[in-house]
Amino acid sequence: MSDLMSASDLRALAEQSNAWPFEQAKQIVARLKKTPKDEVLFETGYGPSGLPHIGTFGEVARTTMVRHAFRVLTEDRIKTRLLAFSDDMDGLRKVPDNVPNKELLTRDLGKPLTKVADPFGTHPSFGEHNNARLRAFLDTFGFDYEFASSTAYYTSGRFDATLLKVLENIDRVMAIMLPSLREERAASYSPFLPICPRTGIVLQVPISAHDAKAGTVSYDDPETGERVTVPVTGGHCKLQWKPDWAMRWTALGVDYEMAGKDLIDSVKLSGKICSALGGTPPEGFNYELFLDDKGQKISKSKGNGLTIDEWLRYASPESLSLFMYREPKAAKRLYFDVIPRNVDDYQQFLEGYPRQDARQQLANPVWHIHAGRPPAADMPVTFQLLLTLVSSSNAENAETLWGFIGRYRPGVTPQTHPKLDALVGYAINYYRDFVAPTKTFREPTASERDALQDLREALSQLAANASAEDIQNTVYEIGRREPFLNHKKLAKDGRPGVSLDWFNMLYQVLLGQEKGPRFGSFVAVYGLQNAIAMIDGALARAG
């Protein structure tokens, strides 16, 4: 669509769209009307005390969607940049569980992450190791971003002018921060954290004096008791994180940054400090947090969620982007059972895209996932169908699955359909890890046994090359009996329809799973004779 349509026509449609990336981008357009700029800066933050995780992906993916929406709304006339900022000057507070050579980190506790030894032995510091992992992570997904290191910005003097501004306005900053702190913390709080010249540790100490003209702060060394004076510039001090966030927004002129719902109060406080420093807080919104299968908030330290590597073992990055696109302001379960739906929904959105008009296309998630240029859909079978095939045939190898697919869709091979080949691999992994361990076949009731017997006979009467549609109609007709009749939903001929209970029974009794894809499609791929043998097996088990 965007290839055929002019930029101004596309912008006109985008202005009418209520897809959330456009809603967010409109806030930035409104901001520029008040304060024009020739460049807009988007920012995402990263705490490099651990490896990048699924939340990091979500924040960068969503910010990228807003950035693209903004470019469409401004016809790409304003330069945009996305800064992935790493807080690598933070002091290491505790040794993470998932690293080797923990004693190296224990020795450097309290030092900035870029001064902590790398336990992996691949980089000059732990901070640089994790920064490299972040860049490799973002590059894997093809994000367009610039990397920024807090240490490099502090030590190079990039923040000096704004740090002096914080010092000049220290009373205003304290007045904003103190009401938010517990009494004991408020008593010793300072926005400045000196880096001890003697030990290199980031100190949380009371500041006994500050001199705005000299650009220094003084404190008493907690070990020696000696009065020490250090400049706030040049990387000799860093700021506590809320003032730090505000200082960064001010110094760099950040226009857009989103944050998790748990940071709502922090965003407000940092915004107030930013205004006190003469800056304008960025636009943005607070996204909801991910929950595990029990509805608990996912936490890095608990490891109770789903990691990026786990998702990508079972599904494509595009399916993960769809998960991130959907309802960012709603809390969502991030657990293994959400994967199949997102894989198949992504495919459905992609298949529907060419049939939509331009307005509908801008509301289609794949438009935002692929920056306005979704690829052509070419996936002859669904993930759900592949899972059912693996499950029914115990085909834990790709060759067997491709045998079914090749018969169902002649000419479709791993070479002609590499994305389907990847999907086959995902389905086998998913089946092995989640479906196989939980398979339980239920016994059919007497009336269900009769229905299965009739289904077997009806299927054996069909031609070997019967279409999925013919098979589905046959299955439907056999199910048109009590207790499977649906009197509320009538068929086209006015007779009662068939309830989902009929199809669910087939999956529970024949395959040992709760639900599955369209049964006619499954039998068409699996083969009539294989399906008949499966029914025979179930009847024999129940006999």
* 209-211 sheet: strands from edge to edge: 209-211, 216-220, 227-231
CA atoms of 483 and 25, how far apart (whole Å) = 53
Q: CA 354 → CA 322, 350, 374, distances in Å?
A: 18, 8, 10
Concatenated DSSP letters of 451-486: HHHHHHHHHHHS-TT--HHHHHHHHHHHT-STTSEE
Residue 533: per-residue pLDDT: 93
Question: For residue 175, which amino acid is it?
Answer: A
Residue 105: which of 123, 90, 126 has the closest Cα?
A: 126
* pLDDT tens, residue by residue, 394-425: 767 899 899 889 988 899 999 999 999 999 99
Q: What pairing do the DSSP bridges indicate for beta strands 237-239 and 485-490?
A: unpaired
CA atoms of 189 and 29, how far apart (whole Å) = 38
What are the residues whose beta carbons fall under 8 Å from the beta carbon of 399, sequence distance 6 or more? none
In terms of Cβ atoms closer than 10 Å to its own Cβ (0-12, 13-18, 19+), residue 241 is middle
Which helix (H) or strand (E) element contains residue 352? helix 339-352
Residue 302: per-residue pLDDT: 55
Concatenated DSSP letters of 263-307: GHHHHHHHHHHHHHTT--PPB--EEPPEE-TTSPBP-TTTT-S--
In terms of Cβ atoms closer than 10 Å to its own Cβ (0-12, 13-18, 19+), residue 2 is middle
Apex 70 CA angle, 135 and 288, nearest 5 = 65
CA atoms of 469 and 527, how far apart (whole Å) = 14
* pLDDT tens, residue by residue, 51-80: 778 888 999 999 999 999 999 999 999 999
CA atoms of 315 and 425, how far apart (whole Å) = 9
Residue 535: which of 453, 425, 476, 465 has the closest Cα?
A: 453
The packing angle between helices 54-73 and 317-325, to 10°, is 70
C-alpha 484, offset from chain centre? 40
Task: Give the three-state DSSP class for 110.
Answer: coil
Query: Are 71 and 80 within 8 A, CB to CB?
Result: yes
Query: Are 430 and 314 within 8 A, CB to CB?
Result: yes
Residue 350: per-residue pLDDT: 98
List beta partners, residue 260. 287
| Separation of first and last alpha carbons in the chain | 58
CB neighbours (10 Å) of residue 483?
Answer: 12
Residue stretches of the chain with pLDDT short of 50: 1-2
Residue 2: per-residue pLDDT: 45
Query: Are 249 and 274 within 8 A, CB to CB?
Result: yes
Residue 130: which of 185, 169, 82, 84 has the closest Cα?
A: 84
- State the number of CA atoms in the 13 A half-sphere of 51 facing the CB: 13
CA atoms of 400 and 180, how far apart (whole Å) = 62
